[in-house]
Amino acid sequence: MATTTMVVSPLATQPSPKNKRRLFAEARQSSLQKLSVIFDHGNKSGNGGETTWCFSQVKGTLEDDVTEADLISCVEFNHDGELLATGDKGGRVVIFQRDPASKQCVPKKGEYNVYSTFQSHEPEFDYLKSLEIEEKINKIRWLKRKNQAHFLLSTNDKTIKLWKVSERDKRVTGYNTREEGGRMRHPSRVTQLRVPTVRPAELMVEASPRRIFANAHTYHINSISLNSDQETYLSADDLRINLWHLEITDQSFNIVDIKPANMEELTEVITAAEFHPTECNLFVYSSSKGTIRLCDMRAAALCDRHAKLFEEPEDPHARSFFSEIISSISDVKLSNSGRYMMSRDYLGLKVWDLRMETKPVETYPVHEYLRSKLCSLYENDCIFDKFECCWSGDDQRLMTGSYNGFFRIFERGGAGGGAGGGAGAGVARRGELTLEASREAAARPRQPLRARRVAATAKRKKDEIGVDCLDFNKKILHTAWHPHESIIAVAATNNLFIFQDKF
């Protein structure tokens, strides 16, 4: 049977004027919705960040009387952001848990409640060297969760501990050889055998040390970093980096050793070290001379030769007495994707592409206005402060701290990045924010944070603060960013401030 093909004229398929208007209206509405999404995203991550970041919570007392032991020394989210851990100078670790109700409400809230508190380290004394070992927690690193329990590493200057944090909400009753109070029962009183039963009980969170890694560092530990294989980790002090296995406490491998035969020839020290997030054979470490070395453990057992050296050439005209001090890198963090690396020196942030060692691809001035105050900062030792830095979960924003309770957030690709990022120190550019962790913010819960500006010159505007008015005792050294959401944790002396984007 022959088939016939029916050809339809294009004119015959054109809609009527009424349908044309309807289709046009639908297309216009769709375009407006797309534009709205674009602008909303821009407001959250970029220029409009000034109106979207708001105060969520503050942990710790806001009183002026603060003891040294209560000062927070590290902050760290776990891999899904459900837990947030802080360590302090008193050797305590406090773990906060995300409030389940805060995730269900609209809009979401970044609220955390105390989950567990335990004493991680105690003060010790090295009798051979007549040296006191502080209990201060230098770093906390979470292991990825494999079962119902959580595991984390914490370290002070000398000893690293692996902690297991687990819940217990059931109890066993009906023992044959024990009374209900726990006292042993005499065998003559056991007349019949019972099957013990498991009953619900009040929730208890227990923290117990599973491993103690000690006696491997002569100098103070400044970094620990988990490998992507989740079986090994590294620990770094001023002159050496050791590789550990999580199951072996009495043995570690020395993978970097920069100690010279004659200590008088020492010219630099290790300041930070971190494993690559996906490549288990790669790690980086920074030095006090402003350099970063990328090492490959496949090349040799002792990584005394780096695979790449990241160093920015120094401008000879800008060299001064303080050049070497302010170029010292206090923190280095690899991006979550593993392609970029961020380093923090005293005055700014630099973003490096791992495929280009010659210069950073982005530069962000943090407090360039302090360059004229370096002499007084040297006299009060503030120039030696070690500021940390962190990436957002999508690697598009950077955060680090400053003085006067200020912390900085930079959007990558904003006008503040690039090789010319040092100009206009007192001018806020597109894509960068200066916010303050203060009592004023705590008094206005869930209200937009007011952007702060510092005047670089004697002439200042009404909403600016002069450099001479900055409080250098209120320093933000430790910050953390939620791995998936716009929630940040900022440590300000003994207080932990939690801020969130209005989503």
For residue 31, the model assigns a pLDDT of 47
E strand spans, 288-443: 292-296, 308-310, 331-334, 340-344, 348-353, 362-365, 389-391, 397-401, 406-411, 432-436
Q: What are phi and psi of 13, to 5 degrees?
A: -95, -5
For residue 416, the model assigns a pLDDT of 52
Closest CA to 70 of 49, 85, 86, 46: 86
The full 3-state SS of 123-176, as one line of letters, equals: CEEECCCCEEECCCCCEEEECCCCCCCEEEEEECCCCEEEEEEEEEEEEEECCC
For residue 23, the model assigns a pLDDT of 57
For residue 414, the model assigns a pLDDT of 60
CA 339 to chain centroid, in Å, comes to: 18
For residue 43, the model assigns a pLDDT of 40
Question: Which secondary structure element, helix H or strand E, spans residue 59, and what is its range?
Answer: strand 53-59
Q: How many CA atoms lie within 13 A of 14 on its CB side?
A: 6
Contact 152, 141 (CB under 8 A): yes
Closest CA to 290 of 360, 343, 234: 343
For residue 426, the model assigns a pLDDT of 42
**Strand pairing of 432-436 and 453-455?**
unpaired
Per-residue pLDDT of the chain (503 residues; tens, 9 = 90+): 444 333 333 333 455 655 656 655 565 555 444 434 333 433 443 333 444 789 999 998 877 778 899 999 999 999 999 999 999 999 999 999 999 888 888 777 889 999 999 999 999 988 888 889 999 999 999 999 999 999 999 999 999 999 999 988 877 777 778 777 778 878 877 778 878 888 787 788 999 999 999 999 999 999 999 999 999 999 999 999 999 999 999 999 999 999 999 999 999 999 999 999 999 999 999 999 999 999 999 999 899 899 999 999 888 877 888 999 999 999 999 999 999 999 999 999 999 999 999 999 999 999 999 999 999 999 999 999 999 999 999 999 999 999 999 999 999 976 456 544 443 344 445 688 999 998 888 788 777 888 899 987 777 777 789 898 899 999 999 999 999 999 999 999 999 999 998 75
For residue 230, the model assigns a pLDDT of 94
